[in-house]
Chain A
């Protein structure tokens, strides 16, 4: 075999024809070169639960932000004669969806009692006869807006702050930590309450106060992780090889921080929604007649014993939202974590 090789002539080396060129890659034993993001997306797609969560979230976002298309009634139109009607979907005769409700031990047709005629509300009405379905869509939007803005601040500010503090170290770190420590030493709810009292209750006040308080945890965790990573071999190696600090931060630190960042981000969203709901609960949140999931749950829980649907539906939407965010967060973490790369 080896001897024969010497006998090859120039003719043996004909250039590959155009059609055959494509087959060249067949010989390669390598995955296609993917960017970090492409690679993560590929792995995320494999995670069924995360994909379901993503689809759910997309649906919820569309429903919420285009609620004016889907809502069956004006979310703020009152009709006290049709107040507190249970859910009714025409054609479905299952308790809970047929417009009947338990009252002092017996089931009565609430729609007939209220002379509702042809009106029907698929998730029922609230204490002023407003359509609960439309209000939930509307409320979801408000809650999402608040949560997204809070998360944006969390990311934009918290991560940069954390990396800077941990990476530079020394006096800068000490100073930055002192600032964080002072902010952390006031429970953020108290900060929010104080801010809202000064700014007067309303959407802007809530967003501002959540924004001001939400980035701290992220910054702290990112810093802790940075400190830990800073002394690890691969960072030291990169340093020794003379990589610039910025490059190290983005290329080496950030991917390794992603799990912490994403987990924490996934905590921020429910936390932000929770705080909004909480502020509404104690009476300084979103003001009437606006609604958020928080105010809806609040209104509903007062009558939970008699009109359970008024709390259950907004609570379910809120929980689905949260669960979806959480599962997607988990999926993203697995996908983004360099250590789990195949």
Chain B
């Protein structure tokens, strides 16, 4: 999922060190089992077919539940499905559903999943995230309007058995079904409200641990209230979570300090000045911020020496520690560290290429001079595109000052709204652009796919045949062979870094203040990032 760095939102790992220390939070509050949470943006929609932003997805993860439920340490726990089995060829997934209910009393059945998935894929719904279903049989054709939605590779065998047929084996499909796009929908509710479906908290049905209340479609505050009809309601301890969309981090901090919020995000100087605060917590994210070179438009950027020079000229350590100052860490490569493991080894460590993320100004100057000579140029003038939130502006200004240390390189900064930046990146209207990607599911392919020659998110149009071949192999011949697939991907990442197709800037992490009395909120490095179903107040 393309993200705005403003849009960094952490899940919550309740660091074990944070026991009870409580900065005077009142015990009467604690007994209330009520949490006050902040979020940077209002809900844009609760229709899971149309959800495209992180914040709405996070709310949906509280109010609804898919076949499986994301849990700590990259586990996909049972959700609506009690159990599942995968055929030997990895193409057929069979989910056995439990007897659970919607909040209106209707049973949650396999038909609700069939209905929902078909609805998302059919062109009429105009879901902007429908491509995520591409690996399900016939999804692409249906999405292009060339086939009837009923031909989608999903089937309800009776009310409580749901069978999915994939195009290619996909080991991480279990993570995908934890995502909101794969949630069930109550067909009665959808047809009852038609166009108005899910445009406010009452025009919707919920099957998750909580029910959404007090959302009128446009407001900045809403509540998640415990859903007594949820199948596992006995384990849901917290009664109410009050959400507040906070527009400026300093307002959030002030509210936290006056006990109006139990969680607020921090960045930059605010984070630096709160590092000693006992409530300070960092939530690592499977998200990388990186610099892309427009190799289609600018010939000089096709020169590997120039790309390497620019990569080496940026001091990532200084960027993380002195500029971003929040929870970000220096990158090991394009795929974030501690996201995916195989045989106990972390992907990022295995694929680490020192030169790809290093800082060496002397070497950079030499390479840059060499590169310019090869290109027959004396100087190079480039614009750096970034979005216009505080964090992005800061990082752009920093990168500008770092790159301009290369003799003959002139950088101008352009900061524009996130959405405009996105559309300009996609249509190659830039020289350099800072992008950020957060994993939808904890698998390296989620990142590596982006840099294949034909991927529409490969904004800079970096292209490498060997890389493409390795990725293709991992998705076809090696798809059902964990180790071979893993090795393909490690090799691919190494190529990307050696050729400096992109420059990883930092791995994102969300710095936040969390009231120490709030316990049990689970955090994930990938979407949906946090889960309240086991949260409680002590």
Contacts and interface: CB of A to CB of B under 8 A. Distances in A.
A127 B322 CA distance: 8
Contact of B270 (A283, A289, A303): A303
Contacts of A287: 413-415
B286 to A, nearest CB: 26
Interface stretch (B86-94, B129-137, B146-154, B391-399): B391-399
A306 interface: yes
A49 interface: no
Contact of A78 (B250, B401, B415): B401
A283 B396 CA distance: 15
A306 B253 CA distance: 11
B269 interface: yes
A128 B402 CA distance: 12
Contacts of A201: 415-416
B190 interface: no
A303 B397 contact: no
Given A287-B413, A288-B415, A306 B270 contact: yes
Nearest to B249: A302
Contacts of B390: 302
Interface in A3-27: none
Given A83-B322, A305-B250, A306-B270, A127 B413 contact: no
Interface residues of B, number: 31
A289 B400 contact: yes
A128 B269 contact: no
A304 interface: yes
B268 A80 contact: no
A288 B323 CA distance: 15
Interface string A118-143: 00000000011100000000000000
Main secondary structure of the interface of B (DSSP, over half): helix
B398 A103 contact: no
Contacts of B272: 84
Given A127-B269, A128-B398, A303-B273, A283 B253 contact: no
Contacts of B28: none
B378 interface: no
A127 B250 contact: no
Interface in A68-125: 76-78, 80-81, 83-84, 103-104
B398 A80 contact: yes
B322 A81 contact: yes
Given A78-B398, A80-B318, A288-B396, A302 B415 contact: no
Interface string A286-314: 01110000000000011111110000000
A307 to B, nearest CB: 6
Nearest to A283: B388
A306 B275 CA distance: 12
A191 B433 CA distance: 30
A148 to B, nearest CB: 26
A127 B323 contact: yes
Given A81-B322, A104-B276, A302-B248, A128 B270 contact: no
B273 A127 contact: no
Given A127-B394, A128-B323, A302-B249, A288 B269 contact: no
Interface in B220-272: 248-250, 253-254, 268-270, 272
Nearest to B417: A283
Nearest to B322: A80
B413 A307 contact: no
Identify the interface centre among B277, B396, B401: most chain A CB within 10 Å of its CB.
B401
Contacts of B249: 302
Interface string B358-401: 00000000000000000000000000000011100110111011
A288 B250 contact: no
Interface in B413-457: 413-417
Contacts of A104: 276-277
Identify the interface centre among A76, A80, A287, A301: most chain B CB within 10 Å of its CB.
A80
16 contacts: A77-B401, A80-B323, A127-B268, A127-B269, A128-B398, A128-B401, A201-B415, A283-B417, A288-B396, A288-B397, A288-B415, A302-B248, A302-B269, A302-B270, A303-B273, A306-B269
Interface of B: 248-250, 253-254, 268-270, 272-273, 276-277, 318-319, 322-323, 388-390, 393-394, 396-398, 400-401, 413-417
Given A104-B276, A288-B413, 16 more contacts: A78-B398, A80-B323, A81-B318, A81-B322, A83-B323, A84-B272, A104-B277, A127-B323, A128-B394, A128-B401, A283-B388, A287-B413, A287-B415, A302-B248, A304-B250, A306-B269
The 8 A-B pairs of least Cβ separation, nearest first, read: A80-B322, A78-B401, A306-B273, A303-B269, A283-B388, A104-B276, A288-B397, A288-B413
Interface of A: 76-78, 80-81, 83-84, 103-104, 127-129, 201, 283-284, 287-289, 301-307
